[in-house]
Structure 1
Amino acid sequence: MDFDWNTEIRKQVETHWTAQLRPRLAGLTDDEYFWEPAPDAWNLRADGERFVADFAVPPPEPAPVTTISWRIGHLVVVLLGMRAMPQFGGEPVDFTTFPYAGTAAEALTQLDDAYAAWMDGVRRLGVDGLTEDTATEGWPVVAIVLHVQRELLHHGAEIALLRDLYRAQSPSSSNSVS
C-alpha cells in the first residue's frame, strides 16, 4: 500500500495550527506580548531603532522564564527560520540580526509568514525529499521536520499558557515592558 508520509506529517501540524495555536493567538495585545511573568525574564527589548532578543550562549541554568514576544521570536527565527531556510532555499536567518517585531500584530504577521514558508517547503519535499540527508547536523530531512513541528507544538502550548497567566493577573500586578 502506498502511504503519503509527507501529507500525514503536514496534517498533524496543520490541524494543531488551525484548530488550536493560531486561534489562541487572536487578539494578542502589545501588553501581553511584552509581559514579563517572572523577574529577569527573557524578552525582546528596544535597542535604538530595533528590537533584540535576550540570550546567552550557553544559556544559564536554570533557563530564564521567557515572554510571549521571546517565544514567538524563537519560533519565527530559530525553528521556522534557521531550520527551514537552509532546507528550502530561503534567505539565511540569524537570531542576532533578525528584525524582531515591536508589536504583537507585527509578530503575528511574522509568525504567519514563517509558518506558511515552512509548510510550503515541507509540501515541496514530497515523500522522497523527507528521506534525504541534510547539510545541517547530519540528520535526515524528516528528523528536522519532525523536530521543528514538535517544537512548534511545545512552544505554542507555552505561549497559550502565558496568555492564560496574563489574563489571570490582576490589573495592578501586570508588569509591562515597552
Structure 2
Amino acid sequence: MTVHESPTDRTPEEGGPTRPRGRDGDLPTVLIDQIEFHMREFMRPRLEGLTDEEYFFDPSGDGDIWTVHRRAPDGETPPTSIQGGSGEMVIDFEVPEPDPAPFTTIAWRLGHVIVGVLALRSHSHFGGPPADYMSWDYAATAEEALAQFDREYARWIEGVRAWGEEDLQVAVGEAEGPWAEHSRATLVAHIHRELIHHLAEIALLRDLWAHRG
C-alpha cells in the first residue's frame, strides 16, 4: 500500500474490503450503502469484545461524569440532575445542561445512540416500539448494551430500506419538531452522521482504555 493509498482503495482480491454500491448514484443506495459499508467494515468490529470495565471507564479520573448506573435514592441527587430510565439502571442528564458538560462514558454514549439516535426515530417514523430517555430499560452490562444496539440498528436500517427515491423526499413531519419540513433523506443522512460520530468517540475511548497507564 502506498502513502496515498487507503485500504478501501484496494479490491477484495488485494486485501481490501468490498466497496459499497453507492457508485450507482441513486439516493436510497447511496444513503444505505454508506452506513452499511462503514458499519460492516469499521464501526461494528470496533465494538467487539467490549468489556464491562471499558463500558464504565472514566479516563478523566475526577468522577464528575455522566454514565449509566444504578438508580440513586430520592433526595441523593442535585435538584437539576435527571435520572432517565424505567428500571434499576438509569442514565444521567442535567437541566439546564452545564457548560462544559461532564465527561460521558461509553455506557452513556451507547445509551444515547440506542435510544435518542435509533429507537426514538424508529418509533416516530417506522412504527417501532415507543422509546424515550425516561422510559428506556438501560443496559447494566456491555454485552446487553451491544445487543440493544444491534437490535435497534437493524430496526432502523430495515425501515430506511423500505423508503424509495420518492419516499425520501417526503417531509419528516412533526415528530422532528422544528425540522418538520426537512426531507426524510436529510433525516437519514443526519442519523447516519450521528452513528459515525458517536461510534468513533467510543472507538477512541477503547483505545484510551487499551493504552491506559
On whether the aligned pair clears a TM of 0.5, the verdict is yes
SS at match of 2:93: coil
| TM-score normalised to structure 2 length | 0.76
Q: Which of 88, 99, 111 is 2:149 aligned to? A: 111
Aligned to 1:4: 26
Unaligned runs of 5+ in 1: 171-178
Please, which moves more after superposition, 159-168 or 128-137? 128-137
How many residues in Structure 1 have an aligned counterpart in Structure 2? Answer: 169
In the alignment, residue 134 of structure 2 is paired with which amino acid?
T
Q: Which aligned pairs between 1:57-68 and structure 2 lie closer than 5 A?
A: 57-68=95-106
Moved over 2 A (4+): none
Unaligned runs of 5+ in 2: 1-23, 73-86
CA distance in 2, matches of 1:161, 1:44: 19
Deviations 1:28-59 (A, max 9, x none): 00110011122311100112852110112332
Which structure has the larger Rg? 2
In the alignment, residue 189 of structure 2 is paired with which amino acid?
L
Aligned to 2:129: 91
In the alignment, residue 161 of structure 1 is paired with which amino acid?
L
Query: Following TM superposition, by how much is the alpha carbon of 1:3 offset from its aligned partner in structure 2, in angstroms?
Result: 4.5
Q: 1:43 aligned to 2:86?
A: no
Aligned to 1:31: 53
Higher RCO, 1 vs 2 (CA within 8 Å, ≥6 residues apart)? 1
Inter-CA distance 167–123: structure 2 relative to 1 (3 Å threshold): same
Q: 1:152 aligned to 2:190?
A: no
Contact 1:83 1:144 in 2 (8 A): no
Which one has the bigger helix percentage?
1
| TM-score normalised to structure 1 length | 0.90
Identity %: 46
Q: 1:73 aligned to 2:97?
A: no
